[in-house]
């Protein structure tokens, strides 16, 4: 192994049937279906079935999958007790990473990683993760835990457990679309992390815990929080021009722009932009959307020729804010969705596994003499 690619740029490390990306054309497909088709017509539950089974479910299959998911909404009481002991100032992603790991200690067969076990454990973790995030958010606010409602969809149930009331149809559908758009995206850093860990034939809990740790980084899923911080730093739409130009002059990063893969506008950003606009109008947050739109206009004029366009984080910030989520819940929402994608990749990896073991290019010295400590 003599070739070196920093950050594994351009290196193909896995085969997948789950998602296809054409960065130059701005295309994203799940199992061949354009993401826009799914966000317009599908549900998160159906999308996860598609990713795991490589086909859209028939009516009965979807009903069975949905029923299995809802039957597992409630997490172990011991995990809820643990959440009640956590520091209220803890970061929500740190909490999610910890409780997913802890779930493994309440599984009598946690190490099983045959394909059927992987599916069943993945389904349980996906079903329970929303309750765990909502439980911690309510704990830190001094509010009582709200048990999941198995009559509700994945999206409805999370917002119900978080806020204590059932969401409006518009809010629930908006959140459902966000879950669809974030579910999978090729061999991104956190997905690669999950596949690397499970390739050792470790357990599902370890692989998903590692993936959550990867996602929380500001160069990955944590970027959507940075977008909201940026929008709050700009007082009005009229101030956007000065803000962006100063950032560009100082070679500072404009959060939510640029992507390692896309050299055109991220197709997820296109769908989220429409969603953000509608939600902003419905919730009285048009200033946020207008600032976002103005920033995109300036960036296209200044750096669009370099292939720097909005990514999925840019409009997801406004969308999540309009839904009523607090800033440090933005990345956990990404994780709730991506648990579906990570699990699909884990199943795919186990189907035809080979341990990941890349080489490293040594750039240090050779044949150095050992110097006794008294002579150093």
pLDDT per position as a tens digit, 36-72: 999 999 999 999 999 999 999 999 999 999 999 999 9
**Cα 264 from Cα 241, distance rounded (Å):** 22
Which strand (E) or helix (H) includes residue 319? helix 312-323
**DSSP string for 119-171:** HHHHHHHHHHHHHHHHHHHHHHTT-------TTS-HHHHHHHHHHSSPPPHHH
pLDDT at residue number 108 = 93
- Domain assignment present for residue 165? The answer is yes
Q: How far is CA 140 from CA 85, 158, 184, 329, in A?
A: 10, 17, 30, 13
Q: What is the mean pLDDT of residues 140-146?
A: 97
On whether both 55 and 151 belong to a single domain, the answer is yes
CATH number of the domain encompassing residue 251: 1.10.230.10
What is this structure's pTM?
Answer: 0.92
Q: What is the mean pLDDT of residues 305-314?
A: 89
Q: What is the mean pLDDT of residues 236-263?
A: 91
Question: Of 184, 313, 321, 345, which residue is the catalytic one?
Answer: 313
- Domain assignment present for residue 360? The answer is no
**Has residue 2 got a pLDDT over 80?**
no
Residue of 7 and 224 predicted with greater confidence: 7
Active site residue 220: yes
Tally of domains within the chain: 2
Range with top average pLDDT, 24-33, 124-133, 162-171, 360-369: 124-133
On whether both 186 and 265 belong to a single domain, the answer is no
Q: pLDDT confidence of 356, banded at 50, 70, 90?
A: very high
Q: What is the mean pLDDT of residues 210-214?
A: 97
Residue 320 has, within 13 A of its CA and on its CB side, a CA count of: 24
Place of tokens 């290196």: 11
Q: What is the mean pLDDT of residues 25-30?
A: 93
On whether both 274 and 339 belong to a single domain, the answer is no
Which of helix, strand or coil describes residue 22?
strand
Q: pLDDT confidence of 1, banded at 50, 70, 90?
A: low
Q: What is the mean pLDDT of residues 82-101?
A: 97
Task: For 225-235, write each residue's pLDDT tens digit.
Answer: 889 999 999 99
- Domain assignment present for residue 8? The answer is no
Q: What is the mean pLDDT of residues 146-154?
A: 98
On whether both 202 and 234 belong to a single domain, the answer is no
- Domain assignment present for residue 173? The answer is yes
Identify the CA nearest to 347 among candidates 141, 10, 52, 144: 52
On whether both 177 and 281 belong to a single domain, the answer is no
Asked whether the CA dihedral 64, 66, 71, 77 is positive or negative, the reply is positive
Which of helix, strand or coil describes residue 28?
strand
Residue 135 has, within 13 A of its CA and on its CB side, a CA count of: 24
On whether both 281 and 145 belong to a single domain, the answer is no
pLDDT at residue number 151 = 98
On whether both 56 and 188 belong to a single domain, the answer is yes
Residue of 10 and 90 predicted with greater confidence: 90
The mean pLDDT of the chain is: 94
Question: Which residues have a Cβ under 8 Å from the Cβ of 146 and sit 6 or more positions away?
Answer: 134, 138, 160, 161, 164
C-alpha 201: how far from chain center: 24
On whether both 142 and 103 belong to a single domain, the answer is yes
- Domain assignment present for residue 178? The answer is yes
- Domain assignment present for residue 305? The answer is yes
Domain of 249, in residue numbers: 223-323
On whether both 106 and 189 belong to a single domain, the answer is yes
Query: In the numeric block, which tokens belong to residue 117?
Result: 């076990």
Which of helix, strand or coil describes residue 233?
helix
On whether both 342 and 305 belong to a single domain, the answer is no
Q: Are 342 and 191 in contact (CB under 8 A)?
A: yes
Q: pLDDT confidence of 254, banded at 50, 70, 90?
A: very high
Measure the N-to-C terminal CA separation of the chain; round to a whole number of Å: 36
pLDDT at residue number 64 = 98
Question: Which residues have a Cβ under 8 Å from the Cβ of 196 and sit 6 or more positions away?
Answer: 210, 356
Question: Of 220, 282, 287, 328, which residue is the catalytic one?
Answer: 220
**Has residue 97 got a pLDDT over 80?**
yes
- Domain assignment present for residue 147? The answer is yes
**Has residue 7 got a pLDDT over 60?**
yes
Question: Of 259, 271, 321, 345, which residue is the catalytic one?
Answer: 259
Identify the CA nearest to 101 among candidates 211, 234, 185: 211
CATH number of the domain encompassing residue 149: 1.10.580.10
- Domain assignment present for residue 125? The answer is yes
Active site residue 182: no
**Cα 12 from Cα 334, distance rounded (Å):** 24
**Cα 102 from Cα 158, distance rounded (Å):** 20
Strands (E), the chain: 19-22, 27-30, 33-34
Query: In the numeric block, which tokens belong to residue 372?
Result: 């006794």
Q: pLDDT confidence of 30, banded at 50, 70, 90?
A: very high
On whether both 209 and 238 belong to a single domain, the answer is no
On whether both 308 and 277 belong to a single domain, the answer is yes
pLDDT at residue number 258 = 85
pLDDT at residue number 85 = 97
């Amino acid at each position: 192994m003599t070739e070196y690619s920093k950050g594994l740029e351009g290196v193909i490390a896995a085969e997948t049937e789950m998602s296809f990306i054409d960065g130059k054309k701005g295309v994203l497909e799940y199992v061949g279906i354009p993401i826009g088709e799914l966000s317009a017509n599908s549900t998160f539950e159906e999308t996860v079935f598609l990713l795991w089974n490589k086909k859209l479910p028939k009516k009965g299959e979807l009903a069975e999958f949905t029923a299995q998911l809802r039957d597992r909404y409630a997490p172990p009481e011991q995990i809820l007790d643990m959440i009640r002991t956590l520091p209220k100032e803890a970061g929500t992603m740190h909490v999610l990473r910890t409780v997913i790991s802890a779930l493994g200690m309440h599984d009598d067969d946690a190490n099983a990683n045959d394909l059927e076990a992987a599916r069943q454990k993945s389904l349980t973790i996906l079903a329970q993760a929303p309750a765990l995030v909502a439980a911690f958010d309510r704990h830190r606010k001094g509010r009582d835990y709200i048990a999941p409602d198995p009559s509700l969809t994945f999206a409805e149930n999370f917002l119900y457990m978080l806020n204590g009331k059932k969401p409006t149809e518009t809010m629930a559908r908006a959140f459902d679309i966000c879950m669809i758009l974030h579910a999978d995206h090729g061999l991104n850093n956190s997905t690669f992390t999950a596949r690397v860990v499970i390739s050792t034939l470790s357990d599902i809990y370890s692989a998903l815990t590692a993936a959550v740790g990867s996602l929380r980084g500001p160069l990955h899923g944590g970027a959507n929080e940075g977008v909201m911080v940026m929008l709050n730093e700009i007082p009005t739409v009229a101030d956007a021009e000065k803000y962006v130009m100063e950032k560009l002059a100082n070679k500072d990063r404009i959060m939510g722009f640029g992507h390692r893969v896309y050299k055109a506008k991220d197709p997820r950003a296109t769908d989220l932009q429409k969603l953000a606009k509608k939600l902003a109008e419905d919730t009285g947050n048009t200033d946020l959307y207008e600032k976002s739109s103005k920033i995109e206009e300036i960036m296209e004029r200044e750096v669009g020729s370099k292939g720097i366009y909005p990514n999925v984080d840019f409009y997801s910030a406004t969308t999540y804010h309009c839904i009523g989520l607090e800033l440090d819940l933005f990345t956990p929402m990404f994780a709730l969705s991506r648990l579906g994608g990570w699990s699909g990749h884990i199943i795919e990896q186990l189907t035809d596994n080979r341990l990941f073991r890349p080489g490293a290019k040594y750039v240090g010295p050779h044949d150095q003499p050992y110097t006794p400590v008294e002579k150093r």
